[in-house]
Chain A
Amino acid sequence: GAVVSQHPSRVICKSGTSVKIECRSLDFQATTMFWYRQFPKQSLMLMATSNEGSKATYEQGVEKDKFLINHASLTLSTLTVTSAHPEDSSFYICSADSGVGYTFGSGTRLTVV
């Protein structure tokens, strides 16, 4: 089946540093990748939509300068959390339409200390 590989699964970083999260579609081409954020015991909150070769579209209230999204190829999209702070600690998940439904990555648990 369609797989979206997301790395890292867990990351702990110091406040003020940047963290990059990668999502790769392994057996299909993803022209669009959706990035979500999920707080404990809550639903998924859409942060942004990335399209291959163009600028990402951010949801209202999401800082585009803090959450940098790059979709350089049809199989790779990255989310960089810049100058991370403790309030950025969360579970980040990517998703893409594989043609047989939306496939999600396994998520990245970011902890900023």
Chain B
Amino acid sequence: QQQVKQSPQSLIVQKGGISIINCAYENTAFDYFPWYQQFPGKGPALLIAIRPDVSEKKEGRFTISFNKSAKQFSLHIMDSQPGDSATYFCAADTSGNTPLVFGKGTRLSVIA
């Protein structure tokens, strides 16, 4: 049973456009929702994270939107650049040093 569903599987965006990746979760005990960026041959790097007490968090060109009632959250990448081309994973966690539950990932390609 997949606890975090991520879509789309792949995404192609024009340079300067907005990239949007969506995730949905089932476990209402989740209280931490990070997004990770992974380049080929590298480990995932934390991009931005949100907790359910806020509906939106913005860091530079990256924004997380969170809808607690719908159990959904999304990553928006504004002014997408070719350097943003990578695989993005959403994840969820409960408090207490437990392993993250990952989505299946989205391969983003930003083309000039």
Chain A residues in the interface with B (C-beta under 8 A):
4, 6, 31-32, 34, 41-44, 46, 49, 91, 93, 95, 97, 101-107, 109
Contacts and interface: CB of A to CB of B under 8 A. Distances in A.
Interface residues of B, number: 19
Nearest to A30: B97
Contacts of B89: 43-44
A44 B102 contact: yes
Interface of B: 34, 36, 41-46, 49, 89, 93, 97, 99-100, 102-105, 107
B41 A31 contact: no
Given A6-B43, A107-B42, A109-B41, A102 B102 contact: no
Contact of B34 (A4, A34, A102, A105): A102
A62 B107 CA distance: 27
A32 B97 contact: yes
B105 A97 contact: no
Contact of A93 (B44, B97, B105, B107): B44
